[in-house]
Amino acid sequence: MATQTMSPAGPKIRTKLPGPNAQKILEGDKKYISPSYTRSYPLVVKRGRGVVIEDVDGNEFLDFSAGIAVTSTGHCHPQVVAAIQKQAAELIHMSGTDFYYENMVTLAERLQKVAPMSGPIRVFYGNSGTEAVEAAMKLARYHTKRQGIIAFYGCFHGRTMGSLSLTASKVQQRRRFQPTVPGVAHVPYPYVYRRPEGMTEEQFIADCVSYIEDRVLKTIMAPEECAAIFVEAVQGEGGYVPAPAAYMKALRRICDQHGILLVCDEVQAGCGRTGKWWAVQHSGVEPDIITIAKGIASGMPLGVMISRAEIMDWVPGSHASTFGGNPVCIEAALATMNVLESEAIKNAETVGNFMMARMKKWVDTHPMVGDVRGFGLMIGVEIVKDKKTKALATEERDRIVDLAFERGILFLGAGATSVRLSPPLVLSQEQAEIGMDVLEECISIVEKERK
């Protein structure tokens, strides 16, 4: 696939990292910017094209993070840029929750065609993933007239107070912010690689299902008081962990049995990243509500909550967003969908399969690679100290990510001990090879350091 690059294929590191210009900006950041932000390494970005990022010192990197799985069509895709420029010259804002925009309807019609639930849908627009989740929480409670919500350990749904109540990824995200919204129960995620020793995958899935049915719904949350189950079909910040199809089907059964809504958070895994429009489609399960953001507008701030039409029965004034459905962001989303449908989703599947075929072998050839998993271009490589004990190797994982940065490849961690690969969906096979070469080199270096 053709991508917009600034230099052929590989990274080009011209200075010591961080370079002199980057160091000046880092000093200003330390002085003026909120210390609550998390930065994995000192990358100061100037511009991006396709899969290539250039920093303020002229160093060029291959981006296997896509701005945290956001730039689905690559950085500054020309079709997306043209759509943004055209709309920005015509109308930037009038507030779609108080007036009307034609393109709000146009995007909703497009989303109807690809939505993972059958039948008519309705759409709510916000500005981010956490806002989409907040909207889903409120709608679930409004529609069902119930309060309880079930979420999963390891999940990340956002940091605003409602979505933070669901998030159970890192304790720092919740520290000193309690109490969060009440009525949320957390349950184990079906993290198959970390099932108890001697237990089959089928037994483990059954245990995870039983935890909901025989513990939560029988001891702390009456089924008739549970509004929704929120689940990531591929858990993102938890380690890029796919939920088995059998487990997703069991969730659908539980929800149908008790009148509970099944909400799939597709903020990170959706918009073609897994080689299908939505990660939940790998299981064959239809949700009642999905939440979307990140890759839907290639970097412009847009969050979307889609529900079955009959569920979105709230009345005017129940929920709104001043900037939600901004016309510039929607035009970016429409252009993004064009690129995804014409080439990028298929490319994610093809290049993702190519990468998985190679990296799966690392489990046998590298002592510290415990598992390689995922779909499409959403791949997790789990680093462990010992394959038998599966001991967490957080420091070693972080060292691998840092070494890759020094070599011009941008990876990020996920969960306690995994490296996440979430490049733009326009990644070429040649670029994939370069990224995998560097990742394997860095893993080998850390393995030798541990001996």
Q: What is the pLDDT of residues 71-108, one digit of tens each?
A: 999 999 999 999 999 999 999 999 999 999 999 999 99
Q: State yes or no: pLDDT of 355 exceeds 70.
A: yes
Instruction: Report pLDDT for 3.
Output: 39
Enumerate helices (H) and strands (E) in the chain, giving the number of each.
13, 17
Instruction: Report pLDDT for 451.
Output: 76
Instruction: Report pLDDT for 8.
Output: 53
C-alpha torsion sign, points 282, 287, 292, 297: positive
Instruction: Report pLDDT for 5.
Output: 41
Q: For all residues of the chain together, what is the average pLDDT?
A: 96
Q: In whole angstroms, give the CA distance from residue 432 to residue 445.
A: 20
**3-class state of residue 235 by DSSP:** strand
Residue 46 — pLDDT band, cuts 50, 70, 90? Answer: very high
Instruction: Report pLDDT for 4.
Output: 42
Per-residue pLDDT tens over the stretch 387-412? 999 999 999 999 999 999 999 999 99
DSSP string, 416-428: TTEEEE---TT--
Q: In whole angstroms, give the CA distance from residue 275 to residue 348.
A: 5
> 53 - beta bridge partners?
48, 61
Mean pLDDT of 229-255: 98
Instruction: Report pLDDT for 69.
Output: 97
Per-residue pLDDT tens over the stretch 164-217? 999 999 999 999 999 999 999 999 999 999 999 999 999 999 999 999 999 999
Q: CB-side exposure of 178: number of CA atoms within 13 Å?
A: 7
